[in-house]
Amino acid sequence: MSYRPVPILMARDLTLSFGTLRALESVSLEIYPGEVLAIVGESGSGKTTLLNTLYGVLAPGAGEVRFGENGELDRCVQTLPRQQLRHLHRSAWGYVHQNPRDALRMEITAGGNIVERLMAAGEKHYGTLREKALFWLQKVEIDPKRIDDLPTTFSGGMQQRLQIARTLISHPYLLFMDEPTSGLDVSVQAGLLDLLRNLVSEQRMAVILVTHDLAVARLLAGRIAVMQRGRIIETGVTDQVLDDPQHPYTQLLVSSVLPA
């Protein structure tokens, strides 16, 4: 078989304890270019802890996360110098928080928020920055007239769109998302899901998506990993795992969802 995709990120045997609590127990996974991997499970199962460990803001007690863009996993998140990690976080990787207020700078305008990554990368030309800000506002379906307004005047759904624009402007090849739609009204959620699906397929990004919502995982993710008590207990193609779950816990999780 000639088909051998090369992962852009690979975690091996991640273990992490908070005091006596085992938050991660030998977790291994791979992310391939252009795919969406959903990490699902109940609250407290270790989803966000795993995401933050992969991202490099939590240090595992054991194991490592390797990554690389050019078909070689030649760099390691845990041994990367702090400054390089910070640079990675501002450019080639992106992180979308559940609460947009954790990422946005509430005291600067929408436009200022969107172009922050470009400015950090050295772009100084006002006209170019303004043009990019307008472009991305349109892309996430926010009225460009709001460019000079503060995010505090935006609704929750608009703040989340702003956070997405601000993150995607640097064209990251890997995006980390922590419950990006769960704080929103269902009507807003549908629009955001559609937007994310289109942006992901258009930008060819890889996405690691943490969600407790199996319906969100089904609509966005090609692959899924189910977590329970700090372990990945089942993985596979999303519809396969949700429609034909093998592990007792996955069967419980899937059968516990109220049909809409």
- Cβ(76)–Cβ(82) under 8 Å? no
User: Which of 35, 116, 178, 179 lies at the binding interface for other proteins (CB under 8 A)?
Assistant: 35
Instruction: Give which of 33, 26, 75 is closest to 173, Cα–Cα.
Output: 33
Backbone angles phi, psi at 194, to 5 degrees: -65, -45
Using CB under 8 A as the binding criterion, the count of chain residues that bind other proteins stands at 29
* Binders of other proteins in range 145-204 (CB under 8 A): 187, 190-191, 193-194, 197, 201
- To other proteins, the closest distance from the beta carbon of 180 in angstroms equals 14
Query: Rounded CA gap, 110 and 101, in Å?
Result: 12
Strand order in the sheet with 206-210: 93-96, 174-178, 206-210, 36-40, 223-228, 231-237
Q: Are 31 and 8 in contact (CB under 8 A)?
A: yes
Is 235 a residue that touches other proteins (CB under 8 A)? Answer: yes
Rule CB under 8 A: say whether 98 interacts with other proteins.
no
**Of residues 76, 121, 252, 257, which one binds other proteins by CB under 8 A?**
252
**Least Cβ distance, residue 239 to other proteins (angstroms):** 5
Decide whether 12 or 89 has the Cβ nearer to other proteins.
Answer: 12
Q: Given the rule CB under 8 A, which residues bind other proteins?
A: 1, 3, 5, 32, 35, 187, 190-191, 193-194, 197, 201, 218-219, 222-223, 235-237, 239-240, 243-244, 246-248, 251-252, 255
